[in-house]
Structure 1
């Protein structure tokens, strides 16, 4: 079975990737080797089979004729309804359990270990549903810049790291929600108790770029490739950022569940390249009148620029406007 890259191999791979692209002209040349996708499902290793979850329609990996029509405006309320219907079942199941199972019953409350397994599986199922939905829209709408270059496959060398990173993310975020949210087995689901410079910094500080550059090995990513990152970046994003956030905003365990589902939804969308005007599911109406709302194309353009950096925002375009790093949209130009 393929093994995880060593630090030396990872550094060499990053240098190889950076040499492939010319900045800031964004002249696309070679692509990293991805022979695993040419194998039949039976021929793939276990890790390659798991990586197949990220494979979209074959159309997304082929150059398409230029679409003369502007990207359609996707109904944001459909996304809000979908999120409500997919996030709430786990909370409803636990709430109903606590309501109907008698309090004097030994199984009335959920042991922390049981709660961890339950919410991990729920998060895994949510992620599979999210990826499937995103792939559907990638095929239905097409993807940005598809007439120049299609979406990127996960490179052969990064398949093991890709799968391990996904598993660590799901496990750590589930456990973090329980720990930082102060899970109390005697309480049913409860809600309502309660400026990031990080991304810009990892592009502008050379030392930190070494850790972030692995994430930019793809110029045209797919949903789950949003998790690809260097060891230090994974440590920061998976563990430290939720920890520091909990110091500022006290969230219950179940609020953490909602937040992490919405967060992974936004990250997957931003790395999907769905060719539609699909804005931020929470902040759209607040920021749109000021021209500072974020949509899928903004982060898609960010990956094309790589280290030279434009469109750093993950939630809004406010700070990109303030710091002069806003790159105007190419296809989602509203009349």
Structure 2
């Protein structure tokens, strides 16, 4: 495994020097976190600062690649470890509580507990993704990335909080029973990719409709002001889109899978943990290839249906009302319905499968 934490990265024998990360000064101009004077900060500015989720913090640097430099791939074992350690810790804490007290969480406590879990997990993903970005660089390196915009700091933080807390609320209301024994399904190896594909199916059509319908586009255009997004902008959108992304699509995916396979509360939370990783990574702009960990045992790459970070990056940078790459977990439905956008940087001959990027655990 190639080490990726060095100050400079070697590409075909040459050192790739580090350069400062430049936040965009376009529609999502982001300067507030780079100012020495914090007197103008409000509560939300301080919260973003304290939990350290600025994807482009002051003084951050990254490597800048030539277009023909080899592209590393994810070490998916590290992603599985990252996910299972965190889900396993949350599951173990709740299991210990039931063992010691003889009863499980009430529905309200369950919502709060798993809402805290998904929120902390998302923050952890943002931190680790930022470390990788500094190590391997961004796509479209000549352009500046969009950070947390000066005029919508509160909205970005609210979107992330909605994602963290409302999904466990929906899962608790739909399939949590405090009287049931705590367990996960033996079908998890099937449920994890099935749920991700179900999410992708419903997301593909809703996402495509928002681009192709004049009526719906007005709910999506805010999200597309990010031309070169970063992780925290994954849920940056108008209110209607936020509610669909956060609640409607997950519930439709659950009902779809539930019609075929039993899927309990803890199964749903683990499946969504896999989805959330790719949801955030897809907006990161990191110059790294590889198959999403949920699909390790499916031949998506051989079918040219796998998704890489560049796919959604192109959807933002090259698409507007007319676009493509509407899927966010796979390219299955983009391939089936002819909406694939050709890759520009992550070309097959440049991908170095021997150069594995370990996803930082902390």
> TM class by shorter-chain length?
0.7 to 0.9
Structure 1 runs, 4 residues or longer, greater than 4 Å off = 57-65
Q: Secondary structure at 1:72's aligned position in 2? A: strand
Counterpart contact for 1:180–1:246, Cα < 8 Å: no
Match in the other structure for 2:121 = 126
TM-score, normalising length: structure 2: 0.76
Residues 326 and 39 (structure 1 numbering): CA distance in 2 closer, same or farther, change over 3 Å?
same
Match in the other structure for 1:45 = 42
1:275 aligns with 2:287: yes
Residues 63 and 218 (structure 1 numbering): CA distance in 2 closer, same or farther, change over 3 Å?
farther
1:36 aligns with 2:32: yes
Q: C-alpha separation between the residues in 2 aligned to 1:172 and 1:259?
A: 16
Residues 115 and 301 (structure 1 numbering): CA distance in 2 closer, same or farther, change over 3 Å?
same
Deviation string, structure 1 residues 31-67 (Cα, Å, up to 9, x no partner): 4333312324843322123334133355778894635
1:190 aligns with 2:204: no
**Whose strand fraction is larger, Structure 1's or Structure 2's?**
2
Deviation string, structure 1 residues 89-138 (Cα, Å, up to 9, x no partner): 11122223323x263xxxx3322222222212222221121111111111
Q: C-alpha separation between the residues in 1 aligned to 2:338 and 2:25?
A: 28
Residues 288 and 55 (structure 1 numbering): CA distance in 2 closer, same or farther, change over 3 Å?
closer
Range moving further from structure 2, 133-142 or 325-334: 325-334
Q: Which of 236, 243, 247 is the equivalent residue of 1:239?
A: 247
Q: C-alpha separation between the residues in 2 aligned to 1:169 and 1:190?
A: 24
Superposed, 1:262-301 pairs within 5 Å as: 262-284=274-296, 285-301=298-314
Match in the other structure for 1:163 = 157
Superposed, 1:8-157 pairs within 5 Å as: 30-40=26-36, 42-43=38-39, 44-52=41-49, 53-58=53-58, 64=64, 66=66, 68-99=68-99, 101=100, 103=102, 108-147=103-142, 149-157=143-151
Q: C-alpha separation between the residues in 2 aligned to 1:150 and 1:61?
A: 12
Residues 29 and 204 (structure 1 numbering): CA distance in 2 closer, same or farther, change over 3 Å?
farther
Taking CA–CA contacts closer than 8 Å with sequence separation of 6 or more, which of the two structures ends up with the larger relative contact order?
A: 2
TM-score, normalising length: structure 1: 0.82
1:225 aligns with 2:238: no
**Whose helix fraction is larger, Structure 1's or Structure 2's?**
1
Match in the other structure for 1:10 = none
Paired residues, number: 301
Counterpart contact for 1:109–1:186, Cα < 8 Å: yes
Q: C-alpha separation between the residues in 1 aligned to 2:89 and 2:120?
A: 11
Coordinate RMSD, CA, aligned: 2.5
Counterpart contact for 1:59–1:139, Cα < 8 Å: no
Counterpart contact for 1:299–1:314, Cα < 8 Å: yes
Counterpart contact for 2:126–2:231, Cα < 8 Å: yes
Residues 41 and 67 (structure 1 numbering): CA distance in 2 closer, same or farther, change over 3 Å?
farther
Q: C-alpha separation between the residues in 2 aligned to 1:123 and 1:136?
A: 20
Deviation at 1:266, TM superposition (A): 0.8
Q: C-alpha separation between the residues in 2 aligned to 1:279 and 1:51?
A: 31
